Amino acid sequence: MTRKLALALLFGGRSSEHSVSCATAGGVLGALDPDKYDVIPVGITRDGAYVLASGDPADYAMDPAAMPEILPNGTRVEWPEDATSHALAVTDASGLRRHVPVDVVFPILHGPWGEDGTVQGMLDLVDLPYVGSGVLAGALGMDKHFMKTVFAQSGLTVAPWATITREQWRGDPGSVREAAAALGYPVFVKPARAGSSVGVAKATDASQLAAAVETALAEDTKALIEPGVVGREIEIAVLGGRAGQPARASVAGEVVVTGRDFYDFEGKYLGGAGVELVCPAPLTEAELAEMQSLAVRAFDAIGAAGLSRVDFFLTEAGWVINEINTMPGFTPISMYPKCWEASGLPYPALIDELVTLALDGRGRD
C-alpha cells in the first residue's frame, strides 16, 4: 500500500488577510483525502507564532460576527534545523516535544509575510517542497507596481497607473493630486502589496482623493492610483504544467457587480449583496482562447509555478490585465477552484495536482 503523504498546511499569518487565509485553509482541510494525506495544520498567529492548529474545517468558517483567527494555544511548531531533516518539531500544550516528518507544505497564505516570497524563501532554505510560486514570482505577484512593470515589458496590456508613497503623500500631496488628475477621475487607490481588496478605495473626483489615499496607505507604505477601467471583470485560473509541459488555463469566470462601487472585501467574502460570480463566463471561443493565451503569458512572465488566478477587464479595445494572484482564494466557492471545476477538474483532484506539481518542483529554479 502506498504511504500517505505528510502535508503541512500553513495558514493564518501576520497580514490583514489573516482571516481569509484561515477560511481558505478550511476549504482545503475539508477536501483533503484522509486516505492520501496525513495533515499537519500549522497556524500562524497575527504576531507570527507558529502553532499546531485545529484540523476541523468548521473552525474556519467565514462569519462576519466572528471571523476565523489563529490564536495562541500553548503549542509551538518549529521548522527543520537544516536541509536534511525534513521534520517539524512540534511541542504540545503540555510541553511534550516530538518530530513530525513532512513531505510537502501547502502555504495557504495571502498577503505580505506569506504570499510574497518570504515564507517560500524560508522553505527553500530547509529544502521542503511547497505548493505554488517561488520567491521571485511571489514577490512580483504581490507588488502591483513591479507586476505591472513586468507585464508591460512582456508586451501585455495593463491599465495606466501612478505609484505613490506615504512619504510623498505627507511631503508633497500636490504631486499625488496631479498624478490622479492626469489619469482622470474616477480613480481607484490600492495598496501596492495587499490583496482581497483590503485598503482599496474609489475616488470619483478630487474631493474624495485624500480619503482614498489614506485608506490605501494605512495598509502599505506604497500605493497605486489607477483610472477606472470600463469593461467586464473576468478572471481565469492557471495551473502549472508537469515537467516538460506548459502551463494551462481553465474556462473563465465573470464577476458581475451591481449596486456596489466595486468588488470589495464584503462582496468577496462576507456575502455582500450586489455581486454574482458567473462561471463559465459567456465568451466567444475566440475571446476565451485569447484570454487563456494571455493568462499563461502572464503566468510565465513572472516565473509563476503551481497556480495563479489572472484577473482581466474585457474592454471595447480588448483585454486589459488587472493583476495576477499567485495564491488566490481557494475555498470551494472561490473563483479559482470554480473555474477548474467547470473545466472538468474537481476540487479534491485539483489539490492532488497541485501537490504533485510541488513535489515535481518545476518552475522554481
**Of 128-132, 196-200, 285-289, 293-297, the least confident:** 196-200
The pLDDT tens digits for 319-364 are: 999 999 999 988 888 899 999 999 999 999 999 999 999 998 744 5
pLDDT of residue 173: 97
Report CA 222 to chain centroid distance, whole Å: 19
Q: Which residue has the higher pLDDT, 39 or 267?
A: 39
Residue 234 has which C-alpha cell? 473576468
Mean per-residue pLDDT of the chain: 92
Provide the β-strand partners of residue 312. 234, 321
Residue percentage of the chain with pLDDT more than 70: 93
Give CA–CA dist 166/218, Å, rounded.
9
pLDDT of residue 1: 47
The pLDDT tens digits for 39-66 are: 999 999 999 999 999 999 999 988 778 8
Which domains occur in the chain, in start order?
5-130 (3.40.50.20), 141-158+230-360 (3.30.470.20), 162-227 (3.30.1490.20)
Which string of DSSP letters, residue by residue, matches 100-121? EE-SEEEEE--STTTTSSHHHH
For range 115-139, the mean pLDDT: 96
Report CA 157 to chain centroid distance, whole Å: 21
Q: Quickly state the pLDDT bin for 276 (edges 50, 70, 90).
A: confident
pLDDT of residue 363: 43
Q: Quickly state the pLDDT bin for 16 (edges 50, 70, 90).
A: confident
Spell out where the chain has E strands.
5-12, 37-44, 50-52, 76-78, 87-91, 97-101, 104-108, 162-165, 187-191, 201-203, 222-227, 232-239, 248-257, 275-278, 307-315, 318-325
Would the pLDDT of 132 be above 90?
Answer: yes
pLDDT of residue 275: 78
Which string of DSSP letters, residue by residue, matches 200-262? -EEESSGGGHHHHHHHHHTT-SEEEEEEPP-SEEEEEEEEPPPTT---EEEEEEEEEE-SSSS
Q: Pairing state of beta strands 201-203 and 187-191?
A: antiparallel
**Of 15-19, 99-103, 187-191, the least confident:** 15-19
Q: Quickly state the pLDDT bin for 198 (edges 50, 70, 90).
A: confident
pLDDT of residue 180: 97
Any residues with CB less than 8 A from the CB of 74 and at least 6 apart, and which?
92, 93
Would the pLDDT of 126 be above 80?
Answer: yes
pLDDT of residue 220: 92
For range 60-73, the mean pLDDT: 89
For range 292-313, the mean pLDDT: 97
Amino acid at 221: T
Instruction: Specify the pTM.
Output: 0.90
Q: Pairing state of beta strands 318-325 and 307-315?
A: antiparallel
